[in-house]
Structure 1
């Protein structure tokens, strides 16, 4: 039975929001021609995508603040699969930075034949579920999440945007990309943003000075992004995102799940995630 409805489109077995995607945009993504110097930050939704849209332009420009001060984040680092890419791709200069929520198996053929690099950002799925729950409350183009307990069931079953968290993570963790992929966690970015930016810089073979690294880190803090109208989604009309219900940039912390899960929910959630990762030959890297 199809899970498509007025809010969601089912594509290759995963659910995608109709408001920002279309069959045309998904075909555009599949036909997209990757260049060897392209960089794509891949995330499961609510795992640090907006953060990477802030960091990547600054790293690639050597700390020039112009991109984050003059261009909204969905245009400066567009989503590979969303409708907006077709409108801005011709204006993008190399090296191009993009983001994507695609699992590995949905990446276009040109990606596989290119030398384009991937930064995969992974976040504790318990925090992902909490963030996604609040996002569903404030985004009018998504279904009401129901109670938190009901939403956790949907999350574990993969009846949420871009399918199961474990499937998404496994698809990229098991991809044979060698030196083309860098794995980061949201948690290490929270703990030491400068060190994470240094890893990104080194991965992209950029020789950024420590002063530039710290400058980028200062402008990519949660506080700085929340105050930046080019980055905080405040320019999105209220009929699409109602910040009175929940701000888009809500907390930007690690471990907020402890304020939402009861002991039974935490045990059930962790057990399911661990078993599915173990079945894929992976371990659960979060507390």
Structure 2
């Protein structure tokens, strides 16, 4: 259930945003919402979910066990995932690096809406008026659900700091025994630099009418703290205040530098 790329590969016209239960999505996804909502999960599915720059029919046809990915907020996840008790891995990234990455993703991705200037995009992002809605609602909703469902909640910053440790968490969650040699191999192959150079993961095989890598690479920096090159002091303090206000009492804390 890939809800990341749903645009028409022949079209270069950017979409508009529509509303699904108060959350904004590109028009193509709005038009195809029925099959997504009615998606039939399986008990042995593994769903990887993130906030963005955190083909339903094709997914249905795949043999089990399936690894699926989605950017849906928790309230819009197809109900069959809860019914089947499918395992879910959620990866959260600090809001400042997330919004910078999402801004550049909009700049190069013709299947997303026009981002406008950095200042305009940041304002829309804070207001939740971007595809997939509010970052605050997204990370908080999945955080609350982890105590009721089989959800492994990971942080991007932890993965950058110690990938071996986080891969072991995933292995434990999936009840998989990993010899140290295999764990080290996985850590090596999933390094940002390796994935950025791999056509199977860097999306360079897609036409420039969809993703224009001359504007910005699909995999751009992959660092923690790149937000400092974009934020003014006032903007940084605004996000700090919002995090303190909107995540207060949740137990959710994010690191904006390592």
Runs of 4+ residues deviating >6 angstroms: none
Distance in structure 1 (CA, Å) of the matches to 2:199 and 2:27: 25
Q: Which residue number corresponds to residue 102 of structure 2?
A: 132
| One of 183, 192, 204 as aligned partner of 2:174 | 204
Deviation at 1:190, TM superposition (A): 0.8
Distance in structure 2 (CA, Å) of the matches to 1:176 and 1:196: 17
Q: Which residue number corresponds to residue 114 of structure 1?
A: 84
- Cα deviation, 1:224-244, whole Å, max 9, x if unaligned, reads 111211111011110111100
Q: Which residue number corresponds to residue 235 of structure 1?
A: 205
Q: Which residue number corresponds to residue 111 of structure 2?
A: 141
Say whether residues 1:219 and 2:189 are aligned partners: yes
Task: Give the secondary-structure state (helix, strand or coil) at the position aligned to 1:99.
Answer: strand
Q: Which residue number corresponds to residue 58 of structure 1?
A: none
Distance in structure 2 (CA, Å) of the matches to 1:157 and 1:267: 16
Q: Which residue number corresponds to residue 12 of structure 1?
A: 21
Say whether residues 1:86 and 2:94 are aligned partners: no
Q: Which residue number corresponds to residue 152 of structure 1?
A: 122
Task: Give the secondary-structure state (helix, strand or coil) at the position aligned to 1:121.
Answer: strand
Distance in structure 1 (CA, Å) of the matches to 2:59 and 2:87: 20
Distance in structure 2 (CA, Å) of the matches to 1:34 and 1:128: 28
Say whether residues 1:33 and 2:40 are aligned partners: yes
TM-score, normalised to structure 1's length?
A: 0.80
Runs of 5+ consecutive residues of structure 2 not aligned to the other structure: 1-13
Task: Give the secondary-structure state (helix, strand or coil) at the position aligned to 1:223.
Answer: helix
Distance in structure 1 (CA, Å) of the matches to 2:44 and 2:103: 36
Task: Give the secondary-structure state (helix, strand or coil) at the position aligned to 2:145.
Answer: coil
More helix by share: 1
Say whether residues 1:42 and 2:11 are aligned partners: no
- Decide whether the 8 Å contact of 1:41 with 1:120 is kept in 2: yes
Deviation at 1:136, TM superposition (A): 1.2
Distance in structure 2 (CA, Å) of the matches to 1:224 and 1:215: 12
Deviation at 1:86, TM superposition (A): 0.7
Query: Judging changes above 3 Å, is the alpha-carbon distance between structure 1 residues 177 and 39 closer, same or farther for their aligned structure 2 residues?
Result: farther
Distance in structure 1 (CA, Å) of the matches to 2:66 and 2:76: 20
